[in-house]
Amino acid sequence: MRVLRRGDEGPAVAEVRSTLAALGLMPPAEGQVEPAVFDPVVEHAIRAFQQQRGLITDGLVGPATYRALRDATHQLGGRPLAYMVSAPITGDDVVTLQERLLELGYDAGRANGVFGQQTELALRIFQRDYGLTVDGICGPGTVRALRQLSPRASGGRPVLLREQERVRRSGPRLRGKRIVIDPGHGGADQGVVVDGVLERDLMWDLATRLEGRMVATGMEALLTRGPDQCPDEGERARFANDAGADLVLSLHSDANSSPHAQGVASFHFGTANRSTTSSLGEAMAGLVQRELVKRTNLRDCGAHPKTWDLLRLTRCPAVRIDIGYLTNTDDRARLSDPRFRDIIAEGIVVAVKRLYLLGENDQPTGTFTFADVMAHEVLSKG
């Protein structure tokens, strides 16, 4: 679809206006207005919606925002839900189903709004336990049962507890951990380009430096792309899922219309109100953020929940790291220095190690070195 923006007109804009009105984000149109216009009221409503949903708040209706608008129109019980291999069902009704199953103690996976195999399995087990037809389809009878039952899980969010337990069981050693490194952009997509400095190339170089350090610790490091490839976010997420990754780290730089914008930011899966989040993704984003700020003195732009496809569609925790603004003279000069990229790579490896240490035998932020990581791996082996 083409991107819709302020000033556009036509049926697609009419659909967007109607959806926003149904969601209570703008008043319904009075009478028949032809043609429908993407005016400042629509743009304001779109920005509010994007902020609520953890999307890039740009006031534009691109593929991600349009999909989220469509998803928001679905309520549980409004249509049958089932696992479709070729075209998975998505929507807020799927999120509600996943959250309800999790409340009842069934592991439907992350509440990401995608009806996948894990959601179907949890639904089938629920149907079996409560004497329903075990067909993996969420129809009227299953919806009634889901609404009538009280939650069995208590004492914390079930997804959070499961994620923490998986990390605890995997142990503090890095050896054997499978990490997917995702260098942003690639191929014909150069990313941000300023004064001959290309985000695509910087992130590829950083990814290879990070890969080398991870392999040295015994981790299995996999890259989502080669230097001449540019898979979309969905393909990158599928690669990580097919590989059975323990963690995904996506590397980017940023740009801004203001040359004064600078710093590092990290992103994990979650909504703005944190009703849905990846607890380990949030923890990893915080660790990366603190390590890189401490080691580089880059401005701390914080860790934030987002629903971008790479974060939403991966089954394991995923973190996107936006390292510096290439539109800022100082950030660009530092990122162009290979020694600085080495510091970034070391900080990320240390953050991964600290995630698996779960606070045990840890050291203050910024003081844990790569040599310390290697020494800890030897001691753990013994």
Residues 354 and 215 in one domain: yes
Tell me the pLDDT of the chain averaged across its residues: 89
Residues 15 and 137 in one domain: no
pLDDT band at 48 (very low <50, low <70, confident <90, very high): very high
Mind listing the pLDDT tens digit for each residue in 201-243?
Answer: 999 999 999 999 999 999 999 999 999 999 999 999 999 999 9
Question: How confident is the model at residue 156, as a pLDDT?
Answer: 47
Residues 19 and 56 in one domain: yes
Q: Is 15 left (phi over 0), alpha (psi -120 to 50) or beta?
A: alpha
C-alpha to C-alpha distances, 76 to 70, 146, 168, nearest whole angstrom: 14, 10, 35
On whether residue 82 sits in a domain, the answer given is: no
Residues 262 and 297 in one domain: yes
Count the domains in the chain.
3
On whether residue 42 sits in a domain, the answer given is: yes
Residues 354 and 290 in one domain: yes
Residues 312 and 346 in one domain: yes
Residues 293 and 194 in one domain: yes
Residues 137 and 261 in one domain: no
- Identify the CATH number of the domain in which residue 39 sits: 1.10.101.10
On whether residue 130 sits in a domain, the answer given is: yes
Q: What is the three-class DSSP state of 238?
A: helix
CA angle 262, 366, 202 (to 5 degrees): 45
Quick one: which of 48, 61, 52 has its CA closest to 6?
61
Question: How confident is the model at residue 157, as a pLDDT?
Answer: 57
Residues in a beta bridge with 305: 268
On whether residue 6 sits in a domain, the answer given is: no
Q: What percentage of the chain has pLDDT greater than the value 70?
A: 88
Q: DSSP for 76-117?
A: TTSS-B---SSS--BSHHHHHHHHHHHHTT-------SB--H
Distance, in Å, from the CA atom of 115 to the CA atom of 122, rounded to the nearest integer, reads 11
Residue 197, burial from CB neighbour count under 10 angstroms (0-12, 13-18, 19+): middle
Copy the structure tokens of residue 136. Answer: 């993996």
pLDDT band at 113 (very low <50, low <70, confident <90, very high): very high
Listed range (21-35, 84-98, 344-358) with the worst mean pLDDT: 21-35
Residue 4 DSSP one-character state: B
Is residue 154 pLDDT above 50, yes or no?
A: no
Question: What's the rounded mean pLDDT across residues 318-339?
Answer: 97
Higher-scoring residue by pLDDT: 102, 160: 102
Residue 186 DSSP one-character state: B
Residue span of the structural domain in which 134 resides: 92-154
CA angle 303, 238, 87 (to 5 degrees): 110
- Identify the CATH number of the domain in which residue 285 sits: 3.40.630.40
On whether residue 79 sits in a domain, the answer given is: no
Mind listing the pLDDT tens digit for each residue in 233-252?
Answer: 999 999 999 999 999 999 99
Distance, in Å, from the CA atom of 216 to the CA atom of 301, rounded to the nearest integer, reads 30
Higher-scoring residue by pLDDT: 150, 107: 107
Contact 107, 162 (CB under 8 A): yes
Q: What percentage of the chain has pLDDT greater than the value 90?
A: 70
Instruction: Write down how long the chain is.
Output: 382
User: Please, which residues have CB within 8 angstroms of residue 196's CB and are 6 or more apart in sequence?
Assistant: none
Higher-scoring residue by pLDDT: 375, 198: 198
Question: How confident is the model at residue 381, as a pLDDT?
Answer: 63
Question: What's the rounded mean pLDDT across residues 182-188?
Answer: 96
Distance, in Å, from the CA atom of 345 to the CA atom of 48, rounded to the nearest integer, reads 36
Question: What's the rounded mean pLDDT across residues 313-317?
Answer: 91
Residues 198 and 317 in one domain: yes
